[in-house]
Amino acid sequence: MNNRKNETSSQSIDFVIPWVDGGDPAWRERKAAFTGEQLTDDRDERYRDWDVLRFWFRAAERFAPWVNRIWFICGQEPPDWLNKANPKIRIVRHEEYIPKEYLPTFSSHTIELNLHRIPELSEQFVYFNDDMFLLRPLSPSFFFRKGLPRDQATMNPLMTAELRRKEKGGIIFTIPLNNTEYLNRDYDFKACIRRHPLKWLTPLYGKSMIRNAILMIWPRFVGFDEPHLPQAFLKTSFEEAWEQDGDILDATCRHTIRNDRDVNQWLIRYRQMAEGRFIPRRPIRSAVFQLEAREQSWKDVIRGQKKPMICLNDGPLTEEAFRLTRDELRDAFQSILPETSSFEI
């Protein structure tokens, strides 16, 4: 990749976050017309609004004031409280960047795999789901160094097709299998390791470095640890993936609802690692939580800012448990981010 492009773009890092209000009656009516498709993931927790988005913006302003622009992706009207006049925010609708043959879409995979088409998106950007939050002040070098994404190339064997059918969560467990299949179609595992051995065998990975060494006896990529946290990307990586893997990316984007034959943006991450287009960093462990009645440790992580970032996955909660957990979540964020940000009216 062009080094001059890297040097120039290192001065500009964007954040990208998609959002949906799953409680919007008009949106639910539009989505209901497509839920009859087979092999789809249409659980309510994929779309439920926890009413903590304002804390995402507060965290971005307080902990990453250097961010260039924030691209807020939505397929409906943004929240009333959002200050659309803030010079750092850009509201982008699905129809403004997703090709019309993929619309309408209610699939996060389609929304993610077309991010490179957002007009004026920076070459370097960090992609967030709306359940991922910064918890501490972070520098640009936490996400990018020398124009390259920071990442952990730690391998981990994937579960088999038989095991994935028994797991709660359904379709999400098929996605890494699909991604790895196409990665092995495009890349020679041994050649990738030989080109950048110190990016795969670095003490930064701790015990995971030993696992990497053991897994190098296999002739193919066997899978990766997936941090499921804010991810640094190069726009160029998406463009090149569409050139090489356009068949599966196109097929995925034609599924209106998430489908177990899909790939997702993790494939772009895997390609960045296979090409050595990243700078290693220490793994961020124990920062992903399922919001369910039995799991409460996320409260201490937020209030104590014990991790640089956190992911809070929705879970199969009853309506009463959801309301209670939502209030507890808002209280936890309020304790560390009490001040209104410039992104709020």
Domain boundaries in the chain?
3-285
Contact indicator for 106, 34 with CB cutoff of 8 Å: yes
What was the pLDDT predicted at 7?
40
Task: Give the closest residue to 153 by CA, choosing from 233, 225, 230.
Answer: 225
Residue 280: in which H helix or E strand, if any? strand 279-280
Taking only the tens of pLDDT, the chain with its 345 residues reads: 444 344 434 469 999 999 988 777 888 788 878 765 544 444 454 456 788 999 999 999 999 999 999 999 998 899 999 999 999 999 999 999 999 999 999 999 999 999 999 999 999 999 999 999 999 999 999 999 999 999 999 999 987 655 555 444 445 678 888 999 999 999 999 999 999 999 999 999 999 999 999 999 999 999 999 999 999 999 999 999 999 999 999 999 999 988 888 999 999 999 999 999 999 999 999 999 988 766 679 999 999 999 999 999 887 788 888 889 999 999 999 999 999 999 999
What was the pLDDT predicted at 105?
94
Kindly give the interhelix angle for 235-244 and 246-253, rounded to the nearest 10 degrees.
Answer: 100
CATH 3.90.550, applies to 3-285: yes
Residue 15: in which H helix or E strand, if any? strand 13-19
DSSP state of 51: S
φ and ψ of 260, to 5 deg: -75, 0
What was the pLDDT predicted at 315?
78
Contact indicator for 133, 309 with CB cutoff of 8 Å: yes
Task: Give the closest residue to 48 by CA, choosing from 9, 20, 69.
Answer: 20
What was the pLDDT predicted at 171?
52
What was the pLDDT predicted at 3?
42
- Give the contacts of 76 (CB within 8 A, at least 6 positions apart): 20, 21, 24, 26, 27
What was the pLDDT predicted at 184?
97
Contact indicator for 119, 93 with CB cutoff of 8 Å: no
Interval 39-98: pLDDT, tens = 444 445 445 678 899 999 999 999 999 999 999 999 889 999 999 999 999 999 999 999
Burial 97-129 (b: 16+ CB within 10 A, else e): bbeeebebbbbbbbbbbbbbbbeebbbbbbbbb
Task: Give the closest residue to 274 by CA, choosing from 137, 162, 171, 180.
Answer: 180
- Count of all residues that appear for the chain in the document: 345
